[in-house]
Amino acid sequence: MTILVRIWGCRGSLPVSMNTQKLRTKLIKALQSAQGRKLASEEEIIRFMDTELDFSVSHTFGGNTSCVEIACGENDYVMCDLGSGAREFGNHVLARESSGKPSTFHFFMSHLHWDHIMGFPFFAPAYLAGNRVRIYGCHPNLAEDFNRQQHAHHFPVQLAQMAADIQFIQLEAGVATEIAGFKVTPKLQLHSGDSYGYRFEKDGKIIVYSTDSEHKLDQIEHTQAFAAFFQDADLVLFDAMYSLADTVSVKEDWGHSSNIIGVELCQMAGAKHLCLFHHEPIYEDGQIETLWRDSQRLEEITRSGRPLRISSAFDGMEIPV
């Protein structure tokens, strides 16, 4: 059975938006590339966009903060993090679930920094009685932090006023738990205030969500532990926020990683697909595409076994696993 991973928010730290100037720059580039071409039908236009334009001209990586759906065709929703992408995800669910049948949402929290929880006050299904929201994490203060975000000083509706049945469930790093048909194993990661990655396993498929995680690859035990966590994964969603040079110089100990470390760890682990995630908010689409292409090139020149597929997350992306 295919598991579909949907990216609802891929941006790190702070949501960003497309503005008129950026949109017009893309349009100018696209129209310049189309000069002299006869694009008579919508199909021809789409083919031209998809095959001849740079990805960063025909698309945008998007601006919502971390929120990822792991869809497996059942009634429950399995999600990672509640960044601003959760708002769009919630609206999508309401539009799809016209029957009014209650749903259960399982959210696995990497940590409780603002960009990873800010979507919850805008997650519309949490306002509907009958829905069940289960928020899992390894931090001891899950409920307290979610309540604080919706304190009257910060937001007009308090958590207790949301009509869904909301529960917070403590998990323990390194201990696998069966949830919504998945074997879920959290792992402690290096980040300010700690963060946790999650390894999801079901029917022989393995998906790893590992964001807001710094790596120091000269520390062999650390490296081996993460290679084991990523071992044979079909998909690894990986924090590639900074360049390697930044992570070992001016941004050392800021709690994030780079595309280079992602490639190396996935190669060590024999993973099949690395998806670069948690994009730096100051990066324009062109810079993220360059980072993606550079990562593909690095994989080519360092490959010793089977090829590692490398993609770059964008809001609305769907990855069949």
CA distances for 155 relative to 6, 63, 122, angstroms: 28, 22, 10
Residue 149 vs 247, nearer CB to other proteins = 247
Candidate segments 19-27, 153-161, 166-174, 290-298, binder of other proteins by CB under 8 A: 290-298
Residue from 301, 305, 306, 320 binding other proteins (CB under 8 A): 301
Residue from 128, 159, 179, 244 binding other proteins (CB under 8 A): 244
Residue from 13, 295, 311, 312 binding other proteins (CB under 8 A): 295
User: Closest distance between other proteins and the C-beta of residue 295, in Å?
Assistant: 8
Candidate segments 2-10, 103-111, 123-131, 242-250, binder of other proteins by CB under 8 A: 242-250
298 binds other proteins (CB under 8 A): yes
Task: Pick out residues in 209-238 that bind other proteins (CB under 8 A).
Answer: 216-218, 223
In this structure, the dihedral spanned by the alpha carbons of residues 181, 83, 64 and 237, taken in order and rounded to 10 degrees, is: -50
Asked whether 187 and 173 are in contact (CB, 8 A), the reply is: yes
Residue 134, CA atoms < 13 Å, CB-side half-sphere: 14
Residue 103 vs 258, nearer CB to other proteins = 258
Candidate segments 51-59, 167-175, 241-249, 313-321, binder of other proteins by CB under 8 A: 241-249
Residue 147 vs 223, nearer CB to other proteins = 223
Q: Strand 67-71: give its sheet, edge to edge.
A: 165-170, 132-137, 104-108, 76-80, 67-71, 4-9, 318-320
Candidate segments 18-26, 168-176, 274-282, 292-300, binder of other proteins by CB under 8 A: 292-300
User: Closest distance between other proteins and the C-beta of residue 124, in Å?
Assistant: 41
Residue 235 vs 265, nearer CB to other proteins = 265
Residue 106 vs 191, nearer CB to other proteins = 191
User: Closest distance between other proteins and the C-beta of residue 215, in Å?
Assistant: 8
Under rule CB under 8 A, how many of the chain's residues touch other proteins?
21
287 binds other proteins (CB under 8 A): no
Strand partners, 9: 67
118 binds other proteins (CB under 8 A): no
Residue 40 vs 220, nearer CB to other proteins = 220
Residue 160, CA atoms < 13 Å, CB-side half-sphere: 4
Among residues 235, 293, 286, 267, the alpha carbon closest in space to that of 7 is found at 235
310 binds other proteins (CB under 8 A): no
**What is the contact mask toward other proteins in residues 246 to 265, using x (rule: CB under 8 A)?**
x-xx--------xxxx--x-
Tokens of 201: 């396993």
CA distances for 143 relative to 19, 128, 137, 178, 259, angstroms: 36, 19, 10, 22, 33
Distance of CA 133 to the CA centre of its chain: 19
Identity at 192, one-letter amino acid code: S
For residues 18 and 74, give the distance between their C-alpha atoms in angstroms, rounded to a whole number: 34
243 binds other proteins (CB under 8 A): yes
Among residues 227, 288, 218, the alpha carbon closest in space to that of 22 is found at 288
Distance of CA 188 to the CA centre of its chain: 17
Residues that bind other proteins (CB under 8 A): 216-218, 223, 243-246, 248-249, 258-261, 264, 294-295, 297-298, 301-302
